[in-house]
Chains A and B, each alone.
Chain A
Amino acid sequence: MSANEVKHAGLNLGDTDEVTHEQAGEGIFGFWVFLMSDAIVFALLFATYGVMLPGTAGGPTPASEYDMKSAFIETLLLLTSSFTFGLASIAMKHELGRVRLQFWLGITLLLGLAFLGFELHDFASMFSDGAYGSRSGYLSSFFGLVPLHGLHVFFGSLWIVVMMVQVSWFGLDARVKINLLRLGLFWHFLDIVWVGIFSVVYLQGLI
Chain B
Amino acid sequence: MIVHAHDFFTLLGKIDLHSFAFVRAWRDPSLNQVIAAGAASMVVIGAIALVLLITWLKKWRYLWDEWLTSLDHKKIGIMYIVLAFVMLSRALIEAVLMRTQQAMAVNTPGIVSPDHFAELFSTHGSIMIFFVAMPLLTGLINFVMPQQIGARDVSFPLLNSVSLWLTGAGAGLMMASLVIGKFSTGGWSGYPPFTELTYNAGVGPDYWIWAVTLSSLGSTLTGLNFAVTIYKKRAPGMHLMRLPLFCWTALCTSILMIFAMPPLTVATAMLALDRYLGFHFFTNGMGGNMMNYANLFWLFGHPEVYILILPAFGVYSEVVSAFSSKRLYGYTSLVLATMAIAVLSFTVWLHHFFTMGQNADINGFFGIATMTIGIPTGVKIYDWIWTMFRGEVRFTVPMLYSIAFMMTFVLGGMSGILLAMPPADYLVHNTLFLVAHFHNMLIPGMLYGMIAGYTYWFPKAFGFRLHEGWGKAAFVCWVVGFYLAFMPLYALGLAGVARRTHELFDPAFRPWLIVAEVGGLILLTGLALLFVQLYVSIRDRENNRVPVGDPWDGRGLEWANAAPAPEYNFALIPQVHSRDTFAWRKEHDCAYDPPDEYRDIEMPRNSMSGVIIGVCGGLAGFGLVWHIWWLAALPVLGVIATVIARSFARDVHYTIPAAKVAAEHGEWLRLIRETRPVDRFQETSPANRGLAARVP
Contacts and interface: CB of A to CB of B under 8 A. Distances in A.
- Indicate the member of A133, A139, A179 with the most B CB atoms within 10 Å: A133
Nearest to A41: B262
B507 interface: no
Contacts of A82: none
Given A37-B262, A44-B262, A133 B647 contact: no
Given A30-B156, A48-B292, A143-B279, A179 B266 contact: no
A29 B228 CA distance: 7
A156 to B, nearest CB: 13
A86 interface: no
Interface string B423-451: 00000000000000000000000000000
Interface in B610-641: 640
Interface stretch (A92-100, A123-131, A162-170, A190-198): A162-170
A40 B266 CA distance: 9
A169 B650 CA distance: 12
Nearest to B227: A33
B285 interface: yes
A151 to B, nearest CB: 12
Interface in B251-289: 258-259, 261-263, 265-266, 269-270, 273-274, 277-281, 283, 285-289
B296 interface: yes
Contact of B224 (A30, A40, A137, A144): A30
A133 B289 contact: no
Contacts of A30: 155-156, 224-225, 228
A42 B289 CA distance: 18
Contact of A144 (B261, B279, B648): B279
Contacts of B285: 57
A200 interface: no
Interface string B213-251: 000000010011101100111000000000000000000
A57 B279 contact: no
B644 interface: yes
Contacts, number: 112
A144 to B, nearest CB: 6
A5 interface: no
Nearest to A176: B647
Contacts of B220: 37
Interface in A95-141: 133-141
A127 to B, nearest CB: 13
A189 B232 CA distance: 23
A152 interface: no
Nearest to B257: A37
- Indicate the member of B227, B262, B273, B285 with the most A CB atoms within 10 Å: B262
B224 A48 contact: no
B644 A162 contact: yes
Given A26-B233, A30-B156, A33-B258, A136 B296 contact: no
A137 B232 contact: no
A23 to B, nearest CB: 11
Interface residues of A, number: 40
B83 to A, nearest CB: 24
Contacts of B280: 55, 57, 134-137, 139-140
Nearest to B283: A137
B293 to A, nearest CB: 10
A166 B645 CA distance: 11
Contacts of B156: 30
A136 B287 contact: yes
B288 A34 contact: no
A177 B259 CA distance: 28
B273 A144 contact: yes
Contacts of B278: 133-134
A51 interface: yes
A48 B287 contact: no
A36 interface: yes
Given A44-B296, A52-B292, A140-B280, A57 B647 contact: no
Contacts of A41: 262, 265-266
Contacts of B270: 48, 140, 144
A80 interface: no
Nearest to A137: B287
Interface string B479-521: 0000000000000000000000000000000000000000000
A36 B224 CA distance: 10
Contacts of B225: 30
B358 to A, nearest CB: 14
Interface in A158-207: 158, 162, 166, 169-170, 173, 175, 179
A105 to B, nearest CB: 15
Nearest to A7: B232
A25 interface: yes
A166 B287 contact: no
Interface of A: 25-27, 29-30, 33-34, 36-38, 40-41, 44-45, 48, 51-52, 54-57, 133-141, 143-144, 158, 162, 166, 169-170, 173, 175, 179
Given A33-B228, A52-B292, A55-B287, 9 more contacts: A26-B232, A29-B232, A30-B224, A40-B262, A45-B266, A55-B280, A133-B277, A135-B280, A144-B273
- Which 8 pairs between the two chains have the least Cβ-Cβ distance? A55-B287, A137-B287, A134-B278, A140-B279, A40-B262, A136-B287, A57-B287, A30-B228
10 contacts: A29-B231, A52-B287, A55-B287, A56-B287, A136-B286, A137-B283, A140-B273, A143-B279, A144-B281, A162-B647
